[in-house]
Amino acid sequence: MDGLPTQTAGMRFRYKRALSAISICCGIGFLWCMYQFATIQDLSKYERAVGDIRMFDVPGPHFFQSINSISDVLRVPHSARDSNPHLLRTALQRYNAYTQLSVSDPDHFFSVNNSKIEIQLGPFQVGDTLKVRIILYDNIGAPIATGGDHIRIWLRQKSTKSNVNGYTIDHGDGTYTGVLTLPWAGSPEVIVSMGNTREHIAFFLNTTETHGLLYEMSSQFISSDGKHKEATKCSPLFEGLSGCHESSGCNLTEINYGIPWFCCQPKSRHLDCNDMKKIKCSDETNFLNTDMITVSDVRHVKFPPIKIKVSEGKVNSLQSPPGTCYDRPRADTWEDSIPAGYYFHNQWVNLHCSPKFRSGDYISCFRNKRFVVLGDSNSRGTFVQLVTMSGSTYNTSEYTKGDRWHKLLEAHNKDLNLELMWAPHNAPLFVKDYQGLDTMRSVGSWLDEITADRPIVVVIHFYYHLTKATIAVYKAMVRDARKALLRLWKRAPDTAVFIQGPHSITYTSVLEPLDYLRRCHGQIWYEEFKGLHDRIVYLDWWDMTVSSENVDVHPSEDVQMDLTRVLVSYLCPSH
């Protein structure tokens, strides 16, 4: 392919446990040691203070650095201000550094068996902050000397079904500080896991930046008389179309509602670019190799848990603040600190606001409204919960697992004069069977058809499907949504808008580096929607799904309902 075709519709064209080696001076005269960091070696001569965190500069050979070219940006520490808000604002700045990272020797990949944890010792009380130092080593026992890995930390107590997410600060030198709020009294475990290594991220990004997609997709071209059909390879990246029979292809960006979409030209003389009618994906990919599998194999590998004791102090558990979610400024939801809340006896406790409404209050809140829920199957989950909460009846066939779900769903409650709809976003949407373009449309296309005859509530979520494509595609989707909302507000100024953020997925077959990509997605929403934060609620779903240790692409119905209740608490006033 010599060049990009003109963009016109139809044109061709291991963790060695630091605590286990502690000989804590247990004599009465040495009780002060209980407040220090436990370590397997004397690091005091390397200590320096960074705020209220004790840091250690451990000398030694930096083998990984000698083998790979590490961008300076991966050596820049993240400040607490960068890491404490629920969105890490430097993810996109690291994007190019990852794509330029040279990964060559598995000996220097992260090893959970060789890596170490140093944990602050108690006693602890409810409301305290626990800090954990994480030091990464590679497979030959050498310290990893640069940053860029994404590490998770959370607290759990299985006996009471209590969990809370924390966050980590990347110091840019292979060391990380994990930070946890201790919201309940008991004997919880501290869990640390490797979300994504920088090698994993590098392999993945280079794949999508080369081919446009992780998995192959195709479009089906159908002649106007229906007699001729042909499928060809497609990608949101023109340069990713290898193997086309001609040097030209079809630029179908306009047909795909402005989101980049290119396909090989059909071979049949009875078909041309304007005949594209359907899209689907393949389970197979030619883009993965053994190196990709090797670097992704350590994703979500856990360090052995560390049990701590938390006493009551003044309270037994942290409570929601007195201010209601309904009265909370919308802009504050874009700046939320971690944790957004926690599970206590399997009940979600919101730490940012109080959902003060009785079970029946939201029924009256739903009256005379139109809910428009757009995106992927997890936004469909929100739609299903709203239908259940409102006691609505489906106009279309009700979704059941196994059915083709990529179609418009509608429901209503006549007594409440309530209308609800859900619709999927446009390509790239990874559907197993060919799906018509009439059902896969952009957020802008759907919103432009909404009738402003009653108060409108818009919920938007697209995430997992788009983690298989380039960041440029995601950004284009978000920009389309912004423009559409501005048009909608002109017709219906009181429209309430909710952005449903990314969620945790740890299913073994998921190869996408979601711990990194969700930060990219969050940053894109934040930056592209500047100036509109005061009009939109950003729904953090990451803390809820990490702390509940969600595995599947679709969180459980209970967790989905918890998120929907948070949404409703911002929408509905208390009585």
Query: CB 493: neighbour CB atoms within 10 A?
Result: 9
Q: Which of 129, 140, 139, 132 is nearest to 175 (CA)?
A: 132
Indicate the range of 87-96, 175-184, 238-247 predicted with least confidence: 238-247
Nearest to 420 by CA among 378, 458, 364, 377: 458
Question: What is residue 323's predicted lDDT score, i.e. its pLDDT?
Answer: 93
Predicted confidence at residue 103, as pLDDT, reads 78
CB 94 within 8 A of CB 86: no
In angstroms, the Cα distances linking 106 to 136, 264, 547 are 15, 37, 31
What pLDDT was estimated at residue 369?
A: 97
Most confident residue range from 29-43, 66-80, 110-124, 333-347: 333-347
Residues, the chain: 575
The residue type of 15 is: Y
Give me the pLDDT at residue 404, please.
53
Residue 498 has pLDDT above 60, yes or no: yes
In tens, the pLDDT along 522-542 reads: 999 999 999 999 999 999 999
pTM: 0.85
Domain 70-204+293-311, architecture per CATH: Sandwich (2.60)
- The upper half-sphere exposure of residue 328, i.e. CA atoms within 13 Å in the direction of its Cβ, equals 32
Domain map (residue ranges) of the chain: 70-204+293-311, 215-285, 362-571
Is the CB of residue 74 less than 8 Å from the CB of residue 173?
no
pLDDT confidence of residue 47: 34
Give the pLDDT score at 79: 45
What does the alpha-carbon distance between residue 411 and residue 421 come to, in Å, rounded to a whole number?
A: 6
> What mean pLDDT, rounded, does the chain reach?
83
Provide mean pLDDT across the span 308-337.
94
Does 397 have pLDDT greater than 90?
Answer: no
Residue 266 has pLDDT above 50, yes or no: yes
Find where tokens 């802009």 sit.
Answer: 331
Residue 398 has what pLDDT? 62
421 pLDDT above the threshold of 80:
yes
Contact 55, 48 (CB under 8 A): yes
Q: For residue 219, how far is the Cα from the chain centroid?
A: 28
Helix (H, G, I), strand (E, B) or coil at 82: helix
Q: Of 34-48, 107-121, 291-305, 450-464, which one has max mean pLDDT?
A: 450-464
Q: Is the CB of residue 170 less than 8 Å from the CB of residue 78?
A: yes
Locate 180 and state its tokens.
């946890």
Whether the Cβ atoms of residue 437 and residue 447 lie closer than 8 Å to each other: no
Indicate if the pLDDT at residue 120 is higher than 60: yes
Write the pLDDT tens digit of every residue in 193-204: 999 999 999 989
The secondary element (H helix, E strand) that includes residue 206 is helix 198-211
Q: How many other CB atoms are there within 10 angstroms of residue 58's CB atom?
A: 13
Confidence class for position 227, pLDDT limits 50, 70, 90: very high
Please list the residues that pair with 279 across neighbouring strands.
Answer: 219, 435
**pLDDT above 50 (res 23):** no
- pLDDT of the residue at 148: 94
User: CA-CA distance, 58 to 47, in Å (whole number)?
Assistant: 9
Residue that is written with structure tokens 């009700």 in the block: 398
Query: For strand 167-170 and strand 229-235, is the pairing parallel, antiparallel, or unpaired?
Result: unpaired
CB 442 within 8 A of CB 480: yes
* Average pLDDT, integer, range 78-93: 58
Average pLDDT estimate for 170-189: 96
N-term to C-term CA, the chain:
64
> Is the Cβ–Cβ distance between 325 and 350 less than 8 Å?
yes
The arrangement of secondary structure in 362-571, i.e. its CATH architecture, is 3-Layer(aba) Sandwich (3.40)
Angle between helix axes 377-390 and 557-571 (nearest 10 degrees) is 70
Strand blocks (E) in 380-447: 393-394, 409-413, 418-424, 435-436
* Predicted local distance difference test score (pLDDT) of residue 65: 28
Q: How high is the pLDDT of residue 274?
A: 93
> 82 near 89, Cβ under 8 Å?
yes
**Helices 471-491 and 514-528, packing angle to 10 deg:** 40
**3-state secondary structure (DSSP) of residue 356:** coil
Instruction: Indicate if the pLDDT at residue 443 is higher than 80.
Output: yes
Q: Is the pLDDT of residue 365 over 80?
A: yes
**pLDDT attached to residue 399:** 55
Cα→Cα distances 347→76, 355, 362, 529, Å:
38, 13, 19, 32
Alpha helices in 410-468 (DSSP H): 443-448
